[in-house]
């Protein structure tokens, strides 16, 4: 088995933030997820995608969750914030599922120009959207210059939202999503994946997101994935069995 590159925390401060679940994920579960991910890639004949979970790219817990969810639940509408290894999976999914639509927003123009030619489809919108200042909860943050209010209503209610952008910051990272998320998901059928959720900045934002969920009485389940990185997932109750069988 070829193990992925794992970033091992090197400072005492970082190690103090690692829970037993995160340590187990870092040194054990990541390799289990890798084997499961590779197996699913082979079963679906997607091995030509050449996905390598290295460095700061999507790790194996995220990749395995995504391919398994796409394979079993077949979401109709998907939003991805930030592009990379996971975008390859989403593009192949769109090509093989005629009822699906994917919107991907990327703020890095060099990265966008480098890979945009790989993602051309009428049901796959890969857009460069520079960051702009946005006020959320009396805080200023940088967020994608994209107007969710004006997109087609049928495209607006996403079943799967993957939050892996923009680049994380120390506090209240990726805060902009909290302003739009409840308006753009199908509240009866959704999964939200928040990558890098062990970091303090993402924890800040997730706390605000939970407060918004609770303020409208949204029914949801919460699930954490532990690999070389941590992902926090929220989902409507109809996905409980899926999470139980991960």
pLDDT in tens, 103-153: 999 999 999 999 999 999 999 999 999 999 999 989 999 999 998 877 665
Q: Model confidence at 67, in pLDDT bands (50, 70, 90)?
A: very high
Average per-residue pLDDT in the chain? 89
User: Given the structure tokens 């997101």, which residue do they identify?
Assistant: 209
Give the global pTM.
Answer: 0.89
User: Higher-confidence residue: 26 or 142?
Assistant: 142
Percent of the chain with pLDDT over 70: 86
Q: Model confidence at 160, in pLDDT bands (50, 70, 90)?
A: very high
Query: Can you give the pLDDT at residue 117?
Result: 95
Query: Can you give the pLDDT at residue 17?
Result: 57
Q: Report the alpha-carbon angle 152-84-162, nearest 5.
A: 50
- Residue pair 29/195 in contact by the 8 Å Cβ criterion: no
Percent of the chain with pLDDT over 90: 78
- Tell whether omega for the bond before 166 is within 30 degrees of 0, i.e. cis: yes
User: Higher-confidence residue: 12 or 130?
Assistant: 130
Return d(Cα 2, Cα 98) in angstroms, integer: 34
The CA-to-CA distance between both ends of the chain, in Å, stands at: 21
Query: Can you give the pLDDT at residue 148?
Result: 80
- What tokens were used for 222? 């919460």
pLDDT of 71-101, one tens digit each? 999 999 999 999 999 999 999 999 999 999 9
Residue 69 has pLDDT above 50, yes or no: yes
C-alpha closest to that of 219 among 245, 182, 194, 180: 182
Query: Can you give the pLDDT at residue 26?
Result: 63
The SS3 assignment for 119 reads coil
User: Given the structure tokens 């103090």, which residue do they identify?
Assistant: 16
Domains of the chain in sequence order: 12-244 (3.40.50.150)
Residue 40 has pLDDT above 70, yes or no: yes
């Amino acid at each position: 088995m070829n193990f992925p590159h794992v970033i091992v925390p090197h400072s005492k401060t970082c190690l103090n933030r690692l829970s037993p679940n995160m340590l187990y994920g870092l040194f054990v579960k990541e390799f289990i997820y890798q084997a499961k991910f590779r197996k699913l890639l082979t079963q679906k004949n997607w091995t030509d995608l050449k996905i390598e979970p290295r460095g700061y790219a999507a790790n194996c817990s995220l990749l395995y969750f995504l391919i398994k969810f796409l394979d079993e639940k077949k979401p109709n509408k998907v939003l991805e914030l930030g592009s990379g290894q996971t975008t390859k999976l989403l593009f192949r999914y769109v090509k093989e599922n005629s009822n699906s639509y994917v919107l991907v927003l990327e703020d890095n123009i060099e990265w966008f120009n480098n890979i945009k030619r790989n993602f051309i489809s009428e049901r796959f919108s890969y857009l460069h959207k520079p960051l702009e200042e946005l006020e959320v909860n009396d805080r200023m943050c940088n967020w994608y210059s994209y107007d969710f209010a004006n997109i087609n209503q049928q495209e607006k209610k996403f079943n799967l939202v993957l939050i892996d952008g923009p680049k994380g910051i120390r506090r209240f990272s990726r805060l902009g999503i909290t302003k739009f998320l409840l308006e753009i998901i199908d509240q009866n059928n959704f999964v939200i994946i928040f990558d890098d959720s062990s970091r303090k900045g993402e924890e800040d934002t997730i706390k605000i997101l939970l407060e918004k969920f609770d303020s409208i009485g949204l029914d949801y389940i919460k699930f954490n994935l532990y690999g070389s990185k941590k992902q926090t997932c929220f989902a409507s109750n109809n996905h409980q069995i899926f999470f139980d069988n991960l």
